[in-house]
Amino acid sequence: MNREMLDEYLDLIGESVLLCDGFDEAVIGFSQRMNEPLLAVYSYDKMVDVLIERDGLSYEDATEYIDFNVVGAWVGPQTPIIVTSVPLG
Protein backbone atom coordinates (compact mmCIF):
# COMPACT_ATOMS: atom_id res chain seq x y z
CA MET A 1 0.00 0.00 0.00
CA ASN A 2 1.28 3.49 -0.79
CA ARG A 3 -0.11 7.02 -0.50
CA GLU A 4 -1.17 7.14 -4.14
CA MET A 5 -3.22 3.95 -3.75
CA LEU A 6 -4.78 5.24 -0.54
CA ASP A 7 -5.65 8.58 -2.15
CA GLU A 8 -7.18 6.85 -5.19
CA TYR A 9 -9.33 4.63 -2.98
CA LEU A 10 -10.49 7.54 -0.83
CA ASP A 11 -11.31 9.59 -3.95
CA LEU A 12 -13.29 6.62 -5.31
CA ILE A 13 -15.44 6.37 -2.18
CA GLY A 14 -15.66 10.14 -1.74
CA GLU A 15 -14.09 10.23 1.72
CA SER A 16 -11.14 11.90 3.36
CA VAL A 17 -9.24 10.62 6.37
CA LEU A 18 -6.29 11.66 8.47
CA LEU A 19 -3.27 9.51 7.61
CA CYS A 20 -0.05 9.00 9.56
CA ASP A 21 2.87 10.23 7.47
CA GLY A 22 5.43 7.57 6.68
CA PHE A 23 3.32 4.56 7.59
CA ASP A 24 1.28 3.89 4.43
CA GLU A 25 2.51 0.27 4.34
CA ALA A 26 0.95 -0.27 7.78
CA VAL A 27 -2.62 0.68 6.77
CA ILE A 28 -4.88 -2.36 7.21
CA GLY A 29 -8.18 -0.66 6.43
CA PHE A 30 -10.71 1.93 7.49
CA SER A 31 -13.17 2.00 10.37
CA GLN A 32 -16.73 3.25 10.24
CA ARG A 33 -19.38 3.76 12.90
CA MET A 34 -22.79 5.33 12.61
CA ASN A 35 -22.54 9.13 12.50
CA GLU A 36 -18.77 9.05 13.02
CA PRO A 37 -15.99 10.02 10.58
CA LEU A 38 -14.15 7.42 8.55
CA LEU A 39 -10.89 6.54 10.33
CA ALA A 40 -7.66 5.06 9.01
CA VAL A 41 -6.69 1.85 10.79
CA TYR A 42 -3.05 0.85 11.19
CA SER A 43 -1.30 -2.29 12.37
CA TYR A 44 1.00 -1.53 15.30
CA ASP A 45 3.23 -4.47 14.34
CA LYS A 46 3.52 -3.25 10.75
CA MET A 47 4.37 0.25 11.98
CA VAL A 48 7.18 -1.23 14.07
CA ASP A 49 8.41 -3.13 11.01
CA VAL A 50 8.47 0.10 8.97
CA LEU A 51 10.65 1.85 11.54
CA ILE A 52 13.01 -1.11 11.85
CA GLU A 53 13.38 -1.65 8.10
CA ARG A 54 13.23 1.94 6.84
CA ASP A 55 14.93 3.80 9.67
CA GLY A 56 17.14 1.10 11.14
CA LEU A 57 15.67 1.43 14.64
CA SER A 58 15.86 -1.35 17.18
CA TYR A 59 12.59 -3.01 18.20
CA GLU A 60 12.67 -1.16 21.54
CA ASP A 61 13.31 2.24 19.92
CA ALA A 62 10.61 1.63 17.30
CA THR A 63 7.97 0.73 19.91
CA GLU A 64 8.95 3.69 22.08
CA TYR A 65 8.64 6.03 19.09
CA ILE A 66 5.22 4.68 18.11
CA ASP A 67 3.90 4.64 21.68
CA PHE A 68 4.90 8.24 22.32
CA ASN A 69 4.44 9.89 18.91
CA VAL A 70 1.58 7.93 17.35
CA VAL A 71 -0.47 6.03 19.92
CA GLY A 72 -0.05 8.87 22.42
CA ALA A 73 -1.14 11.58 19.98
CA TRP A 74 -4.69 12.93 19.83
CA VAL A 75 -5.22 15.07 16.75
CA GLY A 76 -8.99 15.34 16.85
CA PRO A 77 -11.97 13.18 15.95
CA GLN A 78 -10.22 11.78 12.86
CA THR A 79 -7.25 10.46 14.85
CA PRO A 80 -6.33 7.10 13.27
CA ILE A 81 -6.86 3.81 15.07
CA ILE A 82 -3.81 1.69 15.90
CA VAL A 83 -4.56 -2.04 16.24
CA THR A 84 -2.31 -4.25 18.33
CA SER A 85 -2.41 -7.97 17.57
CA VAL A 86 -3.15 -10.39 20.38
CA PRO A 87 -0.48 -13.08 20.57
CA LEU A 88 -2.11 -16.49 20.32
CA GLY A 89 -0.64 -19.74 21.39
Q: Identify each DSSP E strand in the chain by its residue range.
A: 27-31, 39-43, 81-83
**Domain limits of the chain?**
3-83
pLDDT per residue as tens, the chain (89 positions): 899 999 999 999 999 999 999 999 999 999 999 999 999 999 999 999 999 999 999 999 999 999 999 999 999 999 999 999 988 87
pTM listed for this prediction: 0.91
Annotate 32-71 with b (16+ C-beta within 10 A) or e (fewer).
eeeeeebbbbbbbebbbebbeeeeebeeeebbebbeeebe
